[in-house]
Structure 1
Amino acid sequence: MGIVQKFIFAVLLAAIALVVTACGSSGENTADSASKWDQMKENGTIKVGTAGTLYPASYHDSESDQLTGFDVEVVREMAKRMGLEAEFVEMAFDGMLTSLNSGTIDIAANDISITEDRKEKFAFSIPYKHSFATAIVRKDDLSGIDTIEDVKGKKAAGEATTIYMDIARKYGAEEVIYDNATNEQYLRDVSSGRTDIIINDYYLQKLGIAAFPDLNITIHPDLKFETPDQGAGIIMKKDNNQLKEQIDQTLQEMLEDGTISELSKQFFGGDDVTKKPDLNY
Protein backbone atom coordinates (compact mmCIF):
# COMPACT_ATOMS: atom_id res chain seq x y z
CA MET A 1 0.00 0.00 0.00
CA GLY A 2 1.42 3.43 -1.02
CA ILE A 3 1.79 6.44 1.25
CA VAL A 4 -1.32 8.13 -0.17
CA GLN A 5 -3.40 4.97 0.22
CA LYS A 6 -2.15 4.50 3.81
CA PHE A 7 -3.07 8.10 4.63
CA ILE A 8 -6.59 7.69 3.20
CA PHE A 9 -7.04 4.41 5.06
CA ALA A 10 -5.97 6.03 8.34
CA VAL A 11 -8.42 8.91 7.85
CA LEU A 12 -11.24 6.46 7.14
CA LEU A 13 -10.45 4.48 10.31
CA ALA A 14 -10.45 7.68 12.37
CA ALA A 15 -13.79 8.74 10.91
CA ILE A 16 -15.32 5.34 11.68
CA ALA A 17 -13.95 5.50 15.20
CA LEU A 18 -15.56 8.91 15.72
CA VAL A 19 -18.94 7.65 14.51
CA VAL A 20 -18.75 4.58 16.75
CA THR A 21 -17.71 6.70 19.72
CA ALA A 22 -20.56 9.15 19.13
CA CYS A 23 -23.11 6.36 18.89
CA GLY A 24 -21.68 4.70 21.97
CA SER A 25 -21.85 7.95 23.94
CA SER A 26 -25.50 8.45 23.03
CA GLY A 27 -26.30 4.92 24.10
CA GLU A 28 -24.37 5.33 27.33
CA ASN A 29 -26.28 8.50 28.21
CA THR A 30 -29.56 6.69 27.71
CA ALA A 31 -28.30 3.72 29.70
CA ASP A 32 -26.99 5.98 32.45
CA SER A 33 -30.36 7.72 32.69
CA ALA A 34 -32.15 4.39 32.95
CA SER A 35 -29.66 2.95 35.44
CA LYS A 36 -29.92 6.04 37.67
CA TRP A 37 -33.69 5.69 37.82
CA ASP A 38 -33.37 1.94 38.48
CA GLN A 39 -30.82 2.62 41.22
CA MET A 40 -33.12 5.20 42.77
CA LYS A 41 -36.00 2.72 42.83
CA GLU A 42 -33.73 0.04 44.29
CA ASN A 43 -32.47 2.35 47.04
CA GLY A 44 -35.93 3.72 47.65
CA THR A 45 -34.71 7.30 48.08
CA ILE A 46 -34.34 10.48 46.06
CA LYS A 47 -31.84 13.11 47.23
CA VAL A 48 -33.28 16.62 47.11
CA GLY A 49 -31.39 19.91 47.37
CA THR A 50 -33.27 22.72 49.12
CA ALA A 51 -32.41 25.81 51.17
CA GLY A 52 -34.29 25.28 54.43
CA THR A 53 -34.23 29.07 54.89
CA LEU A 54 -36.74 30.29 52.29
CA TYR A 55 -40.18 30.80 53.84
CA PRO A 56 -42.67 29.47 52.81
CA ALA A 57 -41.00 27.36 50.11
CA SER A 58 -38.44 25.56 52.30
CA TYR A 59 -37.93 26.34 55.98
CA HIS A 60 -37.86 24.87 59.50
CA ASP A 61 -41.03 24.96 61.57
CA SER A 62 -40.51 27.27 64.57
CA GLU A 63 -42.00 24.79 67.04
CA SER A 64 -40.81 21.39 65.81
CA ASP A 65 -37.73 22.57 63.84
CA GLN A 66 -38.79 20.09 61.15
CA LEU A 67 -38.09 20.95 57.53
CA THR A 68 -41.30 21.88 55.73
CA GLY A 69 -42.64 24.36 53.18
CA PHE A 70 -44.57 24.39 49.94
CA ASP A 71 -41.81 22.97 47.73
CA VAL A 72 -40.72 20.53 50.43
CA GLU A 73 -44.21 19.08 50.86
CA VAL A 74 -44.85 18.95 47.10
CA VAL A 75 -41.68 16.89 46.71
CA ARG A 76 -42.48 14.67 49.70
CA GLU A 77 -45.88 13.78 48.24
CA MET A 78 -44.42 13.37 44.76
CA ALA A 79 -41.70 11.03 46.03
CA LYS A 80 -44.27 9.01 48.00
CA ARG A 81 -46.37 8.48 44.87
CA MET A 82 -43.23 7.41 43.00
CA GLY A 83 -42.49 4.81 45.69
CA LEU A 84 -39.54 6.77 47.08
CA GLU A 85 -38.59 8.65 50.23
CA ALA A 86 -37.31 12.20 49.81
CA GLU A 87 -33.96 12.77 51.52
CA PHE A 88 -33.35 16.52 51.80
CA VAL A 89 -29.92 18.14 51.71
CA GLU A 90 -29.90 21.81 52.73
CA MET A 91 -27.68 24.23 50.81
CA ALA A 92 -27.56 27.59 49.03
CA PHE A 93 -29.04 27.85 45.54
CA ASP A 94 -25.66 28.04 43.77
CA GLY A 95 -24.62 24.89 45.64
CA MET A 96 -27.69 23.06 44.34
CA LEU A 97 -26.62 23.50 40.72
CA THR A 98 -23.08 22.33 41.48
CA SER A 99 -24.39 19.36 43.45
CA LEU A 100 -26.69 18.33 40.61
CA ASN A 101 -23.76 18.19 38.20
CA SER A 102 -21.60 16.25 40.66
CA GLY A 103 -24.37 13.76 41.46
CA THR A 104 -24.47 14.67 45.16
CA ILE A 105 -28.22 15.29 44.80
CA ASP A 106 -30.75 13.97 42.28
CA ILE A 107 -33.06 16.99 42.08
CA ALA A 108 -33.47 20.44 43.64
CA ALA A 109 -36.70 22.13 44.74
CA ASN A 110 -36.58 25.63 46.14
CA ASP A 111 -38.98 27.96 44.27
CA ILE A 112 -36.63 27.61 41.27
CA SER A 113 -37.68 29.61 38.22
CA ILE A 114 -37.63 27.87 34.84
CA THR A 115 -35.65 30.03 32.40
CA GLU A 116 -34.27 29.50 28.91
CA ASP A 117 -30.69 29.94 30.15
CA ARG A 118 -31.09 27.27 32.82
CA LYS A 119 -32.84 24.91 30.39
CA GLU A 120 -29.69 24.93 28.25
CA LYS A 121 -27.75 23.34 31.14
CA PHE A 122 -30.37 21.46 33.17
CA ALA A 123 -33.70 19.66 32.80
CA PHE A 124 -36.86 20.94 34.49
CA SER A 125 -40.13 19.37 35.48
CA ILE A 126 -43.41 20.85 34.37
CA PRO A 127 -44.13 24.03 36.39
CA TYR A 128 -46.20 23.77 39.56
CA LYS A 129 -46.01 27.43 40.66
CA HIS A 130 -46.52 30.75 38.85
CA SER A 131 -45.91 34.27 40.12
CA PHE A 132 -44.33 37.64 39.35
CA ALA A 133 -41.74 39.86 41.03
CA THR A 134 -42.21 42.80 43.38
CA ALA A 135 -39.87 44.92 45.52
CA ILE A 136 -39.60 45.20 49.29
CA VAL A 137 -38.44 48.65 50.43
CA ARG A 138 -38.53 50.70 53.64
CA LYS A 139 -42.04 51.71 54.63
CA ASP A 140 -41.30 55.26 55.77
CA ASP A 141 -39.59 56.52 52.59
CA LEU A 142 -39.89 53.66 50.05
CA SER A 143 -36.06 53.60 50.21
CA GLY A 144 -36.03 56.76 48.13
CA ILE A 145 -37.50 54.90 45.14
CA ASP A 146 -40.41 56.55 43.37
CA THR A 147 -39.98 55.08 39.88
CA ILE A 148 -38.08 52.20 38.34
CA GLU A 149 -35.28 54.61 37.34
CA ASP A 150 -34.60 55.26 41.03
CA VAL A 151 -33.44 51.66 41.54
CA LYS A 152 -30.10 52.68 39.99
CA GLY A 153 -27.43 52.88 42.67
CA LYS A 154 -29.62 51.38 45.40
CA LYS A 155 -28.34 48.39 47.37
CA ALA A 156 -30.21 45.28 46.22
CA ALA A 157 -30.05 42.16 48.39
CA GLY A 158 -30.12 38.65 46.96
CA GLU A 159 -28.21 35.62 45.68
CA ALA A 160 -25.95 36.15 42.68
CA THR A 161 -27.49 33.74 40.15
CA THR A 162 -31.21 34.35 40.67
CA ILE A 163 -33.47 35.96 38.08
CA TYR A 164 -34.30 38.60 40.68
CA MET A 165 -30.71 39.77 40.94
CA ASP A 166 -30.66 39.85 37.14
CA ILE A 167 -33.55 42.34 37.32
CA ALA A 168 -31.70 44.44 39.90
CA ARG A 169 -28.60 44.50 37.67
CA LYS A 170 -30.70 45.48 34.68
CA TYR A 171 -31.82 48.64 36.45
CA GLY A 172 -28.36 49.50 37.77
CA ALA A 173 -28.67 48.50 41.42
CA GLU A 174 -25.61 47.81 43.56
CA GLU A 175 -25.53 44.09 44.41
CA VAL A 176 -25.35 42.90 48.02
CA ILE A 177 -24.87 39.14 47.80
CA TYR A 178 -26.07 36.73 50.51
CA ASP A 179 -25.32 33.01 50.84
CA ASN A 180 -28.46 31.13 51.88
CA ALA A 181 -29.53 33.79 54.39
CA THR A 182 -32.87 33.61 56.18
CA ASN A 183 -35.85 35.75 55.21
CA GLU A 184 -35.52 37.59 58.52
CA GLN A 185 -31.95 38.67 57.80
CA TYR A 186 -32.91 40.00 54.36
CA LEU A 187 -35.87 41.93 55.75
CA ARG A 188 -34.07 43.35 58.79
CA ASP A 189 -31.25 44.61 56.60
CA VAL A 190 -33.68 46.61 54.46
CA SER A 191 -35.46 47.90 57.56
CA SER A 192 -32.19 49.06 59.15
CA GLY A 193 -30.85 50.64 55.95
CA ARG A 194 -28.00 48.17 55.35
CA THR A 195 -29.71 47.45 52.03
CA ASP A 196 -32.46 49.30 50.18
CA ILE A 197 -34.46 46.84 48.12
CA ILE A 198 -35.24 43.14 47.70
CA ILE A 199 -36.65 42.11 44.34
CA ASN A 200 -38.25 38.70 44.66
CA ASP A 201 -41.37 36.59 44.27
CA TYR A 202 -44.58 38.43 45.18
CA TYR A 203 -46.09 35.61 47.24
CA LEU A 204 -42.90 35.09 49.26
CA GLN A 205 -42.63 38.80 49.92
CA LYS A 206 -46.28 39.11 50.91
CA LEU A 207 -45.82 36.45 53.59
CA GLY A 208 -42.47 37.87 54.68
CA ILE A 209 -44.05 41.26 55.33
CA ALA A 210 -46.85 39.62 57.32
CA ALA A 211 -44.40 37.57 59.40
CA PHE A 212 -42.49 40.66 60.60
CA PRO A 213 -45.11 43.41 61.09
CA ASP A 214 -42.85 45.47 63.37
CA LEU A 215 -40.18 46.01 60.71
CA ASN A 216 -40.05 49.21 58.67
CA ILE A 217 -40.72 47.41 55.37
CA THR A 218 -43.43 47.23 52.72
CA ILE A 219 -43.97 46.04 49.16
CA HIS A 220 -43.49 49.01 46.84
CA PRO A 221 -46.94 49.98 45.53
CA ASP A 222 -45.78 50.89 42.03
CA LEU A 223 -43.00 48.43 41.18
CA LYS A 224 -43.90 45.10 39.60
CA PHE A 225 -41.74 43.03 37.27
CA GLU A 226 -42.76 40.43 34.71
CA THR A 227 -39.97 37.89 35.12
CA PRO A 228 -38.51 36.00 32.15
CA ASP A 229 -39.27 32.64 33.75
CA GLN A 230 -41.83 30.00 32.77
CA GLY A 231 -43.02 29.18 36.26
CA ALA A 232 -41.18 27.32 39.00
CA GLY A 233 -40.33 23.63 38.88
CA ILE A 234 -37.99 20.87 39.97
CA ILE A 235 -34.52 21.01 38.43
CA MET A 236 -32.32 18.00 37.59
CA LYS A 237 -29.42 16.96 35.37
CA LYS A 238 -29.93 17.44 31.66
CA ASP A 239 -29.80 13.74 30.69
CA ASN A 240 -32.11 12.36 33.41
CA ASN A 241 -34.86 11.57 30.91
CA GLN A 242 -36.53 8.71 32.76
CA LEU A 243 -36.50 10.60 36.06
CA LYS A 244 -38.01 13.67 34.39
CA GLU A 245 -40.73 11.52 32.81
CA GLN A 246 -41.67 10.01 36.19
CA ILE A 247 -41.62 13.40 37.92
CA ASP A 248 -43.69 15.12 35.22
CA GLN A 249 -46.31 12.37 35.25
CA THR A 250 -46.61 12.49 39.05
CA LEU A 251 -46.75 16.29 39.26
CA GLN A 252 -49.40 16.37 36.54
CA GLU A 253 -51.53 13.95 38.58
CA MET A 254 -51.06 16.13 41.68
CA LEU A 255 -52.08 19.25 39.75
CA GLU A 256 -55.15 17.56 38.31
CA ASP A 257 -56.37 16.09 41.62
CA GLY A 258 -55.89 19.42 43.45
CA THR A 259 -53.13 18.27 45.81
CA ILE A 260 -50.70 21.04 44.87
CA SER A 261 -53.45 23.65 44.92
CA GLU A 262 -54.33 22.66 48.50
CA LEU A 263 -50.67 22.78 49.57
CA SER A 264 -50.42 26.21 47.96
CA LYS A 265 -53.37 27.54 49.96
CA GLN A 266 -51.87 26.06 53.12
CA PHE A 267 -48.49 27.75 52.71
CA PHE A 268 -49.42 30.92 50.80
CA GLY A 269 -52.23 32.24 52.98
CA GLY A 270 -55.05 30.94 50.80
CA ASP A 271 -53.50 31.93 47.45
CA ASP A 272 -53.40 29.36 44.65
CA VAL A 273 -49.97 29.72 43.03
CA THR A 274 -50.66 26.94 40.54
CA LYS A 275 -52.62 29.45 38.44
CA LYS A 276 -50.87 32.05 36.27
CA PRO A 277 -51.37 35.56 37.67
CA ASP A 278 -53.03 38.37 35.78
CA LEU A 279 -50.20 40.78 34.97
CA ASN A 280 -52.39 43.56 33.56
CA TYR A 281 -51.28 46.12 36.10
Structure 2
Amino acid sequence: MFKAKKWSGLILILSLTLVFASCSKNEETSSNGDQLTKNDKLVVATSGTLYPTSYHSDETNELTGFEVEVVREMAKRLELDVEFVEMGVDGMLTSINSGTVDLAANDMDITDEREEKFQFTIPYKHSYGSAIVRADDLSGIKTLEDLKGKKAAGASTTVYMEIARKYGAEEVIYDNVTNDQYLRDVGIGRTDVILNDFYLQSLAIAAFPDLGVIIHPDLFYFPNAQAMIMKKDNKELLEKINPVIQEMLDDGTISELSKQFFSGADVSQKPDIDFE
Protein backbone atom coordinates (compact mmCIF):
# COMPACT_ATOMS: atom_id res chain seq x y z
CA MET A 1 0.00 0.00 0.00
CA PHE A 2 3.01 2.32 0.42
CA LYS A 3 4.46 2.90 -3.05
CA ALA A 4 5.86 5.67 -5.20
CA LYS A 5 3.94 6.88 -8.25
CA LYS A 6 4.55 5.01 -11.51
CA TRP A 7 7.40 6.13 -13.70
CA SER A 8 8.42 4.84 -17.10
CA GLY A 9 11.50 3.13 -18.51
CA LEU A 10 14.83 3.74 -16.85
CA ILE A 11 13.37 6.24 -14.37
CA LEU A 12 11.11 3.53 -12.95
CA ILE A 13 14.04 1.15 -12.53
CA LEU A 14 16.30 3.73 -10.93
CA SER A 15 13.58 5.07 -8.62
CA LEU A 16 12.63 1.69 -7.30
CA THR A 17 16.27 0.72 -6.89
CA LEU A 18 17.28 3.81 -4.97
CA VAL A 19 14.17 4.43 -2.89
CA PHE A 20 12.84 0.97 -2.21
CA ALA A 21 16.01 -1.10 -2.36
CA SER A 22 15.30 -3.34 -5.34
CA CYS A 23 11.79 -4.39 -4.38
CA SER A 24 9.56 -6.23 -6.83
CA LYS A 25 6.83 -4.26 -8.65
CA ASN A 26 3.83 -6.34 -7.66
CA GLU A 27 4.48 -6.61 -3.92
CA GLU A 28 7.44 -4.77 -2.46
CA THR A 29 9.21 -5.99 0.66
CA SER A 30 12.20 -4.73 2.58
CA SER A 31 15.24 -6.84 3.32
CA ASN A 32 13.76 -7.92 6.65
CA GLY A 33 10.45 -8.95 5.08
CA ASP A 34 8.33 -5.89 5.89
CA GLN A 35 5.69 -5.17 3.28
CA LEU A 36 6.09 -1.66 1.88
CA THR A 37 3.64 -1.19 -0.94
CA LYS A 38 0.51 -2.55 -2.50
CA ASN A 39 -1.92 -1.23 -5.09
CA ASP A 40 0.37 1.73 -5.88
CA LYS A 41 -0.87 3.95 -3.05
CA LEU A 42 -0.65 4.85 0.61
CA VAL A 43 -3.94 3.81 2.22
CA VAL A 44 -4.88 5.82 5.30
CA ALA A 45 -7.72 5.23 7.75
CA THR A 46 -9.52 8.31 9.03
CA SER A 47 -13.01 9.00 10.34
CA GLY A 48 -14.27 11.80 8.09
CA THR A 49 -16.50 12.89 10.98
CA LEU A 50 -14.03 14.40 13.47
CA TYR A 51 -14.01 18.17 13.00
CA PRO A 52 -11.53 19.79 12.42
CA THR A 53 -9.04 16.95 12.04
CA SER A 54 -10.97 14.82 9.51
CA TYR A 55 -14.33 15.90 8.10
CA HIS A 56 -16.25 16.77 4.93
CA SER A 57 -16.43 20.41 3.86
CA ASP A 58 -19.93 21.89 3.92
CA GLU A 59 -19.21 23.71 0.67
CA THR A 60 -17.71 20.91 -1.40
CA ASN A 61 -18.39 17.74 0.61
CA GLU A 62 -14.72 16.89 0.03
CA LEU A 63 -12.74 15.21 2.79
CA THR A 64 -10.43 17.69 4.50
CA GLY A 65 -9.17 18.62 7.97
CA PHE A 66 -5.91 19.18 9.79
CA GLU A 67 -4.60 15.61 9.68
CA VAL A 68 -6.06 14.89 6.25
CA GLU A 69 -4.07 17.81 4.84
CA VAL A 70 -0.93 16.84 6.81
CA VAL A 71 -1.15 13.39 5.19
CA ARG A 72 -1.73 14.85 1.73
CA GLU A 73 1.29 17.14 1.99
CA MET A 74 3.42 14.31 3.38
CA ALA A 75 2.39 12.01 0.51
CA LYS A 76 3.08 14.78 -2.03
CA ARG A 77 6.62 15.20 -0.73
CA LEU A 78 7.14 11.44 -0.88
CA GLU A 79 5.70 11.38 -4.42
CA LEU A 80 2.94 8.98 -3.34
CA ASP A 81 -0.71 8.65 -4.19
CA VAL A 82 -2.93 8.54 -1.10
CA GLU A 83 -6.33 6.93 -0.57
CA PHE A 84 -8.38 7.69 2.54
CA VAL A 85 -10.66 4.99 3.94
CA GLU A 86 -13.28 6.35 6.32
CA MET A 87 -14.21 4.29 9.36
CA GLY A 88 -14.82 4.51 13.09
CA VAL A 89 -11.92 4.66 15.52
CA ASP A 90 -12.69 1.18 16.82
CA GLY A 91 -12.02 -0.28 13.37
CA MET A 92 -8.79 1.54 12.61
CA LEU A 93 -6.39 -0.56 14.68
CA THR A 94 -7.95 -3.78 13.41
CA SER A 95 -7.58 -2.54 9.83
CA ILE A 96 -3.91 -1.70 10.40
CA ASN A 97 -3.18 -5.18 11.76
CA SER A 98 -5.09 -6.89 8.96
CA GLY A 99 -3.23 -4.91 6.30
CA THR A 100 -6.39 -3.25 5.00
CA VAL A 101 -4.76 0.15 5.57
CA ASP A 102 -1.16 1.27 5.96
CA LEU A 103 -1.75 3.71 8.79
CA ALA A 104 -4.37 5.76 10.60
CA ALA A 105 -4.44 9.55 11.00
CA ASN A 106 -7.28 10.58 13.26
CA ASP A 107 -6.08 12.35 16.41
CA MET A 108 -4.54 9.09 17.64
CA ASP A 109 -3.06 9.52 21.11
CA ILE A 110 0.39 8.06 21.75
CA THR A 111 0.08 5.73 24.75
CA ASP A 112 2.28 3.04 26.28
CA GLU A 113 -0.38 0.41 25.65
CA ARG A 114 -0.65 1.26 21.97
CA GLU A 115 3.12 1.42 21.56
CA GLU A 116 3.32 -2.19 22.73
CA LYS A 117 1.26 -3.29 19.72
CA PHE A 118 1.79 -0.56 17.11
CA GLN A 119 4.29 2.13 16.18
CA PHE A 120 3.80 5.88 15.87
CA THR A 121 5.40 8.54 13.78
CA ILE A 122 6.99 11.47 15.55
CA PRO A 123 4.21 13.60 17.12
CA TYR A 124 2.90 16.64 15.26
CA LYS A 125 0.04 17.63 17.59
CA HIS A 126 0.07 18.30 21.34
CA SER A 127 -3.05 18.70 23.44
CA TYR A 128 -4.86 17.73 26.64
CA GLY A 129 -8.19 16.37 27.77
CA SER A 130 -11.39 18.31 28.42
CA ALA A 131 -15.02 17.49 29.21
CA ILE A 132 -18.18 18.61 27.43
CA VAL A 133 -21.06 18.87 29.89
CA ARG A 134 -24.49 20.48 30.13
CA ALA A 135 -24.29 24.24 30.51
CA ASP A 136 -26.91 24.58 33.25
CA ASP A 137 -25.42 22.22 35.86
CA LEU A 138 -22.08 20.97 34.43
CA SER A 139 -23.77 17.54 34.40
CA GLY A 140 -23.14 17.33 38.15
CA ILE A 141 -19.41 16.96 37.57
CA LYS A 142 -16.71 18.88 39.44
CA THR A 143 -13.77 16.48 39.25
CA LEU A 144 -12.91 13.29 37.41
CA GLU A 145 -14.05 11.34 40.47
CA ASP A 146 -17.59 12.61 39.78
CA LEU A 147 -17.66 10.59 36.55
CA LYS A 148 -18.75 7.55 38.56
CA GLY A 149 -22.21 6.54 37.38
CA LYS A 150 -22.35 9.23 34.67
CA LYS A 151 -23.01 8.32 31.04
CA ALA A 152 -19.89 9.00 28.99
CA ALA A 153 -20.23 9.14 25.20
CA GLY A 154 -17.54 8.03 22.79
CA ALA A 155 -15.85 5.16 20.98
CA SER A 156 -14.82 2.17 23.06
CA THR A 157 -11.12 2.02 22.14
CA THR A 158 -10.21 5.68 22.66
CA VAL A 159 -7.91 6.85 25.44
CA TYR A 160 -10.70 9.08 26.72
CA MET A 161 -13.14 6.20 27.11
CA GLU A 162 -10.44 4.36 29.03
CA ILE A 163 -10.29 7.34 31.40
CA ALA A 164 -14.08 7.31 31.74
CA ARG A 165 -14.02 3.59 32.58
CA LYS A 166 -11.24 4.14 35.10
CA TYR A 167 -13.41 6.59 37.02
CA GLY A 168 -16.52 4.43 36.90
CA ALA A 169 -18.54 6.08 34.14
CA GLU A 170 -21.14 4.16 32.17
CA GLU A 171 -20.09 3.83 28.53
CA VAL A 172 -22.41 4.93 25.73
CA ILE A 173 -20.70 3.79 22.54
CA TYR A 174 -21.15 5.54 19.18
CA ASP A 175 -19.97 4.29 15.80
CA ASN A 176 -18.41 7.17 13.85
CA VAL A 177 -21.23 9.70 14.23
CA THR A 178 -20.79 13.44 13.73
CA ASN A 179 -20.12 15.98 16.45
CA ASP A 180 -23.64 17.40 16.53
CA GLN A 181 -25.07 14.01 17.51
CA TYR A 182 -22.65 13.69 20.43
CA LEU A 183 -23.37 17.22 21.63
CA ARG A 184 -27.12 17.02 21.22
CA ASP A 185 -27.31 13.86 23.31
CA VAL A 186 -25.47 15.52 26.19
CA GLY A 187 -27.73 18.56 25.94
CA ILE A 188 -30.94 16.54 26.17
CA GLY A 189 -29.61 14.27 28.93
CA ARG A 190 -29.27 11.05 26.97
CA THR A 191 -25.61 11.17 28.01
CA ASP A 192 -23.81 13.30 30.58
CA VAL A 193 -20.30 13.95 29.36
CA ILE A 194 -17.90 13.69 26.44
CA LEU A 195 -14.24 13.32 27.35
CA ASN A 196 -11.96 14.22 24.47
CA ASP A 197 -9.25 16.47 23.10
CA PHE A 198 -9.56 20.12 24.19
CA TYR A 199 -8.97 21.66 20.76
CA LEU A 200 -11.41 19.34 19.01
CA GLN A 201 -14.08 19.89 21.62
CA SER A 202 -13.65 23.68 21.64
CA LEU A 203 -14.25 23.87 17.91
CA ALA A 204 -17.19 21.46 18.10
CA ILE A 205 -18.83 23.68 20.72
CA ALA A 206 -18.22 26.77 18.57
CA ALA A 207 -19.76 25.07 15.54
CA PHE A 208 -22.95 24.10 17.45
CA PRO A 209 -23.50 26.87 20.01
CA ASP A 210 -27.21 26.28 20.63
CA LEU A 211 -27.24 22.76 22.05
CA GLY A 212 -26.94 23.67 25.72
CA VAL A 213 -23.44 22.28 26.28
CA ILE A 214 -20.09 23.80 27.20
CA ILE A 215 -16.48 22.84 27.91
CA HIS A 216 -16.15 22.27 31.65
CA PRO A 217 -14.28 25.37 32.92
CA ASP A 218 -12.20 23.59 35.56
CA LEU A 219 -11.59 20.07 34.27
CA PHE A 220 -8.36 19.74 32.27
CA TYR A 221 -6.18 16.64 32.43
CA PHE A 222 -4.07 14.15 30.47
CA PRO A 223 -1.47 16.20 28.54
CA ASN A 224 -0.77 14.16 25.43
CA ALA A 225 0.59 13.99 21.90
CA GLN A 226 -0.87 12.64 18.68
CA ALA A 227 0.71 11.05 15.62
CA MET A 228 0.01 8.65 12.77
CA ILE A 229 -0.14 5.01 13.85
CA MET A 230 0.87 1.96 11.84
CA LYS A 231 1.78 -1.71 12.07
CA LYS A 232 4.51 -2.53 14.57
CA ASP A 233 6.86 -4.29 12.16
CA ASN A 234 6.62 -1.87 9.23
CA LYS A 235 9.91 -0.15 10.03
CA GLU A 236 10.57 0.80 6.43
CA LEU A 237 7.37 2.83 6.22
CA LEU A 238 8.20 4.67 9.43
CA GLU A 239 11.69 5.47 8.18
CA LYS A 240 10.24 7.06 5.03
CA ILE A 241 7.58 9.10 6.82
CA ASN A 242 9.36 10.46 9.89
CA PRO A 243 11.91 12.65 8.10
CA VAL A 244 9.15 14.25 6.03
CA ILE A 245 7.02 15.02 9.08
CA GLN A 246 10.08 16.54 10.77
CA GLU A 247 10.72 18.63 7.68
CA MET A 248 7.11 19.84 7.75
CA LEU A 249 7.47 20.78 11.40
CA ASP A 250 10.75 22.58 10.79
CA ASP A 251 9.57 24.58 7.79
CA GLY A 252 6.32 25.67 9.47
CA THR A 253 3.94 23.74 7.23
CA ILE A 254 2.24 21.90 10.09
CA SER A 255 2.05 25.08 12.15
CA GLU A 256 0.27 26.86 9.29
CA LEU A 257 -2.15 23.97 8.77
CA SER A 258 -2.87 24.01 12.50
CA LYS A 259 -3.70 27.70 12.47
CA GLN A 260 -5.93 27.17 9.45
CA PHE A 261 -8.01 24.42 11.05
CA PHE A 262 -7.78 25.28 14.76
CA SER A 263 -8.82 28.95 14.60
CA GLY A 264 -5.30 30.29 14.89
CA ALA A 265 -4.02 27.86 17.53
CA ASP A 266 -0.70 26.13 16.92
CA VAL A 267 -1.23 22.57 18.10
CA SER A 268 2.26 21.60 16.94
CA GLN A 269 3.56 23.26 20.13
CA LYS A 270 3.13 21.82 23.63
CA PRO A 271 0.47 23.70 25.66
CA ASP A 272 1.70 25.96 28.45
CA ILE A 273 -0.66 24.69 31.16
CA ASP A 274 -0.04 23.43 34.69
CA PHE A 275 -1.84 20.10 35.00
CA GLU A 276 -0.93 19.48 38.64
TM-score greater than 0.5 by the shorter chain: yes
Scaled by the length of structure 2, the TM-score of the pair is 0.86
1:104 aligns with 2:100: yes
CA distance in 1, matches of 2:217, 2:234: 42
> What residue in structure 2 maps to residue 209 of structure 1?
205
Which of the residues 245, 267, 275 maps onto 1:273?
A: 267
Does the CA contact (< 8 Å) of 1:29 and 1:239 recur in 2? no
The alpha-carbon distance between structure 1 residues 252 and 172, as it changes in their structure 2 partners (threshold 3 A), is same
Q: 1 CA distance for matches of 2:90 and 2:137?
A: 33
What amino acid maps onto 2:234 in structure 1? N
* Separation (CA, whole Å) in 2 of partners of 1:225 and 1:133: 5
Residues 1:123 and 2:119 are matched in the alignment: yes
* 1:45 match: 41
Q: Percentage identity across aligned positions?
A: 65
Residue-by-residue CA offset, 1:208-242 (whole Å, 9 max, x unaligned): 11000111000111111125x4x100111111111
Which residue of 2 is the match for residue 18 of structure 1? none
- Structure 1, unaligned stretches of length 5 or more? 1-27
Native 8 Å contact 2:131 2:215 kept in 1 = yes
Q: Secondary structure at the match of 1:120?
A: helix
Mapped contact 2:30–2:236 kept (Cα < 8 A): no
Rg comparison, structure with higher value: 1
Partner residue, 1:200: 196
Confirm or deny that 1:165 pairs with 2:161: yes
Q: Deviations over 1:123-167 (max 9, x none)?
A: 110000000000000001111123333221110001111110111
Question: Please, which runs of 5 or more residues in structure 2 have no aligned partner?
Answer: 1-28
Deviations 1:160-205, CA, capped at 9 Å, x for gaps:
1111011111211111111111111101100111000000000001
Give matches, 1:43-192, under 5 Å.
44-192=40-188
Amino acid at match of 1:200: N
Q: Match for 1:241 among 222, 229, 235? A: 235
Counterpart AA for 2:86: E
Higher fraction of helix: 1
1:269 aligned partner, one-letter code: S
Partner secondary structure for residue 220 of structure 2: strand
2:33 alignment counterpart: 32
Mapped pair 1:218 → 2:219: no
Check whether the contact 1:46–1:87 (CA below 8 A) recurs between aligned residues. Answer: yes
In 1, Cα distance between equivalents of 2:212 and 2:74: 39
Instruction: Supply the distance in 2 between the matched residues of 1:62 and 1:107 (Cα, whole angstroms).
Output: 26
AA in 2 matched with 1:213:
P
User: Is contact 1:226-1:279 (8 Å) kept?
Assistant: no
Separation in 2, partners of 1:188, 1:30: 52
CA distance in 2, matches of 1:144, 1:225: 18
TM-score (norm 1): 0.85
Following superposition, the deviation at residue 29 of structure 1 comes to 7.7
Please give the secondary structure, in 2, of the residue aligned with 1:226: strand
Is it true that 1:260 corresponds to 2:254 in the alignment?
yes
User: 1:17-28 residue pairs with structure 2 within 5 A?
Assistant: none
Paired residue type of 2:174: Y
Please identify, of 147-156 and 251-260, the stretch whose mean Cα deviation from structure 2 is larger: 147-156
Determine the structure 2 residue equivalent to 1:11.
none
Provide the rounded CA distance (Å) in 2 between the counterparts of 1:193 and 1:249. 47
* Structure 2 SS opposite 1:194: coil
Equivalent pairs, count: 247
Question: In the TM superposition, what whole-angstrom CA distance separates every residue of 1:221-279 from its partner, at most 9, and x where no partner exists?
Answer: 1111125x4x1001111111111011101000000000000000000000000011123
| Partner in structure 1 of residue 21 of structure 2 | none
One-letter identity of the residue aligned with 2:263: G
Q: How many angstroms does 1:71 deviate by?
A: 0.6
Query: Does the Cα contact within 8 Å between 2:131 and 2:196 map onto a contact in 1?
Result: yes
In structure 2, C-alpha distance between the alignment counterparts of 1:210 and 1:262, rounded to whole Å? 21
Tell me, in whole angstroms, the C-alpha distance in 2 between the residues paired with 1:51 and 1:176. 18
Runs in 1 of length 4+ with deviation above 6 angstroms? none
